[in-house]
Structure 1
Amino acid sequence: MGGRVLVTGASGFIGNYLVKEALRKGYEVWAGVRATSNLEGLQATNIHLIELDFAHPSTLKMQLTDFKETHSKWDYIIHTAGVTKCQDKNDFDRGNYKATKNFIETLSGLDMTPEKFVYLSSLSVFGPIHEKKMLPISENDTPKPNTAYGISKLRAEQYIKELPDFPYLIYRPTGVYGPREKDYFLMAKSIQKHLDFAAGLRKQILTFVYVADLAQAIFLGIEKKEICRKSYFVSDGNVYSSRDFSDLLQKELGNPFVIHIKCPLFILKIISLCAEFIASSSGKSSTLNGDKYKIMKQRNWQCDITPLINDLGYAPQYNLAKGVKHAIEWYKKEGWL
């Protein structure tokens, strides 16, 4: 395929993987980073780094202008940059919606709109729907996000879709895991310490996608010229319980003795709000907070990937068992476990 591609948020878990996959596929790869980004994993000589400040349009314009003067523009942009944890909930809007808007407006003003602009959104934009009938969430459903993160991602989606003739593709992955991922890694650490924690007593249906399959979906969309102005859900096509995930972690960690705890939601809510208050009082963000509680409370995380299969020929290569095996092998090899 080839061509020049920019991956924003390249220092993050997903962005870092996409950079390496783009290199493997023969693209000229540019990694968009912040001034404060950790550049571990982006040291290869064939990775071009570019600092991008999405929060300040004037600075961003200068950065993109400098690039345009020597390279014209990127053929493809994969925009993974954003925020998932914030002390101030308004930062979600600034980091996900306003930053994306600033970026696209600046690209347009400089005549640097790419052939395709891939926006990495989230299944969280739809919120807790079909909680009684437990049906897969589909493109025909009305989004009802109940978290600041989900709302900010939805605002970015709506802005992109309203742009006339803008060549976008939007991907809404469910829980993404794999090497370098840190949130699911904490679950592995907990299992290693003999404790498995599940949220709520009522049945919860979960979905996952291994990072390599997400990358497959994204590059299929880029490489199919006729596919444009579309939105897709991404999972591995299967449904799981929280116990399925913990049991697989336990197996790959050598079957340590594990105590399984199901925490009632009302207790979890109290713990989450207390953790958020303590973190906020100390000027920090907390992994456990009011928004995280709403995510853990949600019972239905199914999504319909039929359009992704029919339009792009998407064929997931990793079910949860295979993906967890590969992820744990990487964590062990790199000394994380």
Structure 2
Amino acid sequence: MKRVLIIGAGGFIGGFMARKSLDLGYETWVGVRESTSRRYLDDARIKFLILDYDSPQALAEAFDSALPHGDKWDWIVYNLGATKVTNYSDFNRINYGYLKNTVEALKSCDKVPERFLYMSSLSALGPGDEKGYTPYTASMIPDPNTRYGVSKIKAETLLEMTSGFPWIIFRPTGVYGPHEQDYLMMIKCIDRHWDFGVGFRKQLLTFIYVDDLVDAVFEALEKGTVHKKYIISEDRAYTQKEFRSIVARALGKKFVIPVRLPLWVTKIASFVAEKYGVAKLKPSTLNSDKYKIMKQRNWSADISEAKANFGFNPRFSLEEGIKITVAEYKKSVDNKN
């Protein structure tokens, strides 16, 4: 039986990972803070490991005390990270610093696993081909233009420079599914008959349903090559109009009003929302970093390397994944009512 540790398991993706690991028959551990919600980690078979990411020493002590001397986790999935912050320095502290502390702790207590999968982001690569719409590839030279992307590249570079560390890096595109919040905001808008888009030039969007991402994680851990980076996405791109139509059909909405906001209006709105969030000490979904991401016109992705290396083959089209996501959204609305 494989022994798996999922670090950063309290969020949207982590719950699906834990469930998949259990379904595969693995001894499943989750690394969380004491304060982390366990809403999606309610299976009695899950083993909890309380971690203090700010201290390499505390991490090492937690790792060392969790398993008998000489025992290790076969696989570790590192899914910890911040996608929005109040202070941009927190991107570096959380996305880079916490990984650094974790790697140091695993090495110091001799708990380096057989494989360590790090969840990065397509944003780590920066803007793609905005004119010819050439898809992102795994071999592209990163040039991130957001502070979030920079923190992810720093984390990737740390792994690359750590001797004897068996890393695999995933760069997923936008992940959606039940319980995810950012795409849920878009679904709610369309449910109210409005669809807000940014910019007037064609934009290609890519998505990955959460179950497909989680399947890819365990396929890569089992069959993938270490010291490789993989782009994870559904194998096609969509326009905003196609996304709107798919969501509207799933919601049963026949009439949705598309609204296109000029980039300059979105930039101002992002700046104001960011400052409001700072004043309220609460991260804003709309901010200067997010504006740069929304501004990009090309998110198409080439997943051929993941296909060839460990047989990655997404099962869910956007239409199929949105049907499930919308069904869960409707159920939650009914329960509230």
Q: What interval of TM-score do these two structures reach, taking the shorter chain for normalisation? A: over 0.9
- Cross-structure match for 2:260: 262
Alpha-carbon distance in 2 for matches of 1:19, 1:71: 24
- Cross-structure match for 1:275: 273
232-241 or 127-136: bigger deviation: 127-136
Q: Specify the SS of the correspondent of 1:268.
A: helix
- The question of whether the paired residues in 2 share the 8 Å contact of 1:76 and 1:115 is answered with yes
64-73 or 321-330: bigger deviation: 64-73
- Cross-structure match for 2:316: 318
Segments of structure 2 that go 5 or more residues without pairing to the other structure are none
251-260 or 270-279: bigger deviation: 251-260
How many pairs align?
Answer: 335
**Does residue 103 of structure 1 match 2:74?**
no
- What amino acid is the match of 2:23? R
- Cross-structure match for 1:305: 303
- Cross-structure match for 2:236: 238
- What amino acid is the match of 1:149? Y
- The question of whether the paired residues in 2 share the 8 Å contact of 1:188 and 1:249 is answered with yes
What per-residue deviation string (whole Å, max 9, x for no partner) do you get for residues 98-150 of structure 1? 10011011001111000000000000001112111110111232111111111
The alpha-carbon deviation at position 320 of structure 1 amounts to: 0.6
The alpha-carbon deviation at position 194 of structure 1 amounts to: 1.6
- Cross-structure match for 1:290: 288
- Cross-structure match for 1:46: 45
Alpha-carbon distance in 2 for matches of 1:74, 1:139: 28
Q: Specify the SS of the correspondent of 1:299.
A: coil
Alpha-carbon distance in 2 for matches of 1:165, 1:141: 24
The alpha-carbon deviation at position 278 of structure 1 amounts to: 1.6
- The question of whether the paired residues in 1 share the 8 Å contact of 2:236 and 2:301 is answered with no
- What amino acid is the match of 2:206? T
- Cross-structure match for 2:74: 75
Alpha-carbon distance in 2 for matches of 1:116, 1:57: 20
Alpha-carbon distance in 1 for matches of 2:107, 2:150: 25
- The question of whether the paired residues in 2 share the 8 Å contact of 1:276 and 1:285 is answered with yes
Alpha-carbon distance in 1 for matches of 2:217, 2:281: 37
Q: Specify the SS of the correspondent of 2:6.
A: strand
**Does residue 161 of structure 1 match 2:150?**
no
Aligned pairs (5 A) from 1:1-337: 2-69=1-68, 72-224=71-223, 227-335=225-333
What per-residue deviation string (whole Å, max 9, x for no partner) do you get for residues 221-254 of structure 1? 1111x62111100001011012211211111111
The alpha-carbon deviation at position 53 of structure 1 amounts to: 1.4
Tell me: CA distance 1:6–1:125, structure 2 relative to 1, closer, same or farther (3 Å): same
281-290 or 105-114: bigger deviation: 281-290
- The question of whether the paired residues in 2 share the 8 Å contact of 1:129 and 1:144 is answered with no
What per-residue deviation string (whole Å, max 9, x for no partner) do you get for residues 136-186 of structure 1? 111232111111111000000011011223111110000011111111011
The alpha-carbon deviation at position 31 of structure 1 amounts to: 1.1
**TM-score where L is the length of structure 1:** 0.96
Alpha-carbon distance in 2 for matches of 1:218, 1:194: 36
Q: Specify the SS of the correspondent of 2:159.
A: helix
- The question of whether the paired residues in 1 share the 8 Å contact of 2:138 and 2:305 is answered with no
The alpha-carbon deviation at position 319 of structure 1 amounts to: 0.9
164-173 or 276-285: bigger deviation: 276-285
The alpha-carbon deviation at position 256 of structure 1 amounts to: 4.9
Alpha-carbon distance in 1 for matches of 2:164, 2:194: 51
Between the aligned residues of both structures, percent identity stands at 42
CA-based RMSD of the aligned residues comes to 1.5
- The question of whether the paired residues in 2 share the 8 Å contact of 1:192 and 1:256 is answered with no
